Amino acid sequence: MVRFSSTASLLLLAAAAAIFPTSTLALTKPVFATNAADVQQPKTDGVRSWRTYASSDSSSQLWNISTVMPSKTMKTSTGLGMYAYNVIWRGEAWNPSRPLMVSFGSSISRCRDITDLACVLSKGVQDGWPWQIRTNGSYAKAILEDAGMAIVVIVSPVCYNTTRLTPIGASCGTSKNNHALRHYRPDVVIDVLSKVQKSFGFDTNSVVASGGSMGGRGALRLGTAYPLRAISVVGAMLEVSANTAMKSLPWNSGNAGEGCYSLNFANVGGTGCKTKMPETMLMANKFVSTAVQFYASPGDSTANLTTMVQPTCNAINEAGGNCKLNVISNLPGTNRAPIHNELAKWSWAPEDFNFLVAGYGGKPVAFAGPVSSASSTSATATATSSDSSSSTSVDSATTTTTAAPTTSPTIDNGPGTGTNEDLLDR
């Protein structure tokens, strides 16, 4: 008979907790804290740590979230290591055969203090698929258990101090020496993925990405440097130098362009930059093996349908890829198309998730029970796609479908900013 020490027994219990939020329902519903002192203590198996939460609907489905913080002493002009991230998962902690989604939040999901645990934890489920998992048990079960997918959520700092070469403790409300971070940098994200691969494991041939606004641009940016199987974005596009977020603009309460790719240049004052942000529109050929879909609206002035999103889809298709464009032409209850913030309610329906699953050849999953994103109130959407195997024409197929807005987080100014800095409209 094998006997275990009390320490070993505790580790086994912790490991069991990592394996068994599957179909188990929560007896209580732990809520996210607004400050680090109130965040629940993590469990650990000696390799990784995690917290277990329940979806906030009546199903109370359990799911795990592991939060990894950047080093407080991190100082580097390259930016490697400056992102915090969350890994959302269910079942076994280590699983090298699971598919992985890289979820990029909009500008509302950035943290002023990237070492603030409560901020990183809460911003990691602020929007997109993580928000759906947090609020809807049908999503938690379908995504994390039935599809067996894990989600890594990138959380970026609002700004970077160009004197101290760190995002730690940067006074983002002051323009001097601060570089507003308005893009996700693919090299930093790829570094995160290498760490997730070592700690949790995933199938490198089954990686997909999603995001809205700034996060959508981040997903596309990653797609130019990493072999993604599918990408689904809303309110985003491939970028050219004329786009506002690509310019070196004055700070203006944090609503600045990024301009400089080099972190040691403060992007204020409208001065030029020797290391400009790469134009991803010139890299449309990188998506030849990636299924891509966009949600856009004629009412969106940030990701303009005519001048930005449609040309993006055209460029991908003309390069031999397969891009689908879903145009949302009406906001329910109104006689107009949704604006940028309102458009963020789309692209999180079950069919959008299964679009990502199909990208790596997975089987579609069913979303049992009440699913808010499949409500009977629908808005007209026109889907335009091109099958690169038969034609590169961007108008080779046009179908009319319906798409309903999902339950989405309240758009606010973020924790204690008092500015427009953290609004989704970026």
- Interior angle at CA 357, CA 91 and CA 306, nearest 5: 135
Give the range among 125-129, 132-136, 408-412 with minimum mean pLDDT.
408-412
The mean per-residue pLDDT over the stretch 311-331 comes to 97
The predicted-structure confidence for 30-64, as pLDDT tens digits, reads as follows 555 656 677 889 999 999 999 999 998 888 899 99
Which range is most confident: 169-178, 243-252, 350-359, 400-409? 350-359
Q: What is the CA radius of gyration of the chain?
A: 21
Residue-wise pLDDT for 344-353, tens only, equals 899 999 999 9
* pLDDT of 316 strictly over 50: yes
Instruction: Give the pTM.
Output: 0.84
Report in angstroms the alpha-carbon separations of 242 from 25, 58, 304: 50, 47, 13
Region 364-370: mean pLDDT is 84
Model confidence at 3: pLDDT above 60:
no
| Domain boundary assignment for the chain | 63-403
The answer for residues whose C-beta is within 8 angstroms of residue 127's C-beta and 6 or more apart is 105, 106, 108, 109, 212, 215, 344, 408, 409, 424
Say how many C-beta atoms besides its own lie within 10 A of residue 138's C-beta: 23
Residue 388: its pLDDT value, please? Answer: 32
Instruction: Categorize the per-residue pLDDT at 2 as very low, low, confident or very high, splitting at 50, 70 and 90.
Output: very low
Selecting from 3.40.50.1820, 3.10.20.740, 2.40.160.150, 3.40.50.300, what CATH number does the domain 63-403 have? 3.40.50.1820
Share of the chain above pLDDT 90, in %: 55
Among the ranges given (77-86, 130-139, 379-388), the one the predictor scored with the smallest mean pLDDT: 379-388
Cβ atoms of residues 116 and 67 within 8 Å: no
Mean pLDDT of 374-397: 33
Token pair in block for residue 409: 């987080």
CA neighbours closer than 13 Å in the CB half-sphere of residue 45:
18
Is the predicted pLDDT of residue 210 greater than 90, yes or no?
yes
pLDDT band of residue 260 (cuts 50, 70, 90) is confident
pLDDT at 121: 93
pLDDT at position 303, please? Answer: 96
Determine the Cα–Cα distance for residues 121 and 41; give it in Å rounded to an integer.
13
Residues in the chain: 426
Mean pLDDT, the chain, whole residue set: 80
